[in-house]
Amino acid sequence: MTEVKQVYRFLLRTVRDRITSRRQNPIWHDFIVGQFHGNSTERDPAKVQELLQIAKDYAQLVQDVHYEKELLLSYNIGIDPDERQRSMIERTAHLVGLQLPIVPPHTASS
């Protein structure tokens, strides 16, 4: 029973943190609550473990997709390679407390 509570909380927390809060869109929260309550009478241990594994896998998938999205954004995929390099240099400079000079695009050397 403790494992069920842990998975239930883990899944709700993951949806709240990675998809949407209950206040903004209660559909996800309500669906998860409905699924757990609907299967609360299940007594077959194998079926219970299967349902718990599905819930764990879904929560992990949501976290992994969110992490991948953050990685793609951090690498600035989809922008010009020169702009990406400049952005990375600017972020590195900011980390050590420096600021790059602003150079107008028409006078910048390639």
pLDDT, position 101: 80
- Does position 48 have pLDDT exceeding 70, yes or no? yes
CA distance 80 to 105: 14
> Coil, helix or strand for 72?
helix
pLDDT, position 90: 86
68-82 burial, b at 16+ Cβ within 10 Å, e below that, comes to eeeeeeeebeeeeee
pLDDT band at 13 (very low <50, low <70, confident <90, very high): very high
pLDDT (tens digit, 9 = 90+) per residue, 62-95?
999 999 888 887 776 667 777 778 888 888 888 8
Identity (one letter) of the amino acid at 33? Answer: V
Identity (one letter) of the amino acid at 59? Answer: A
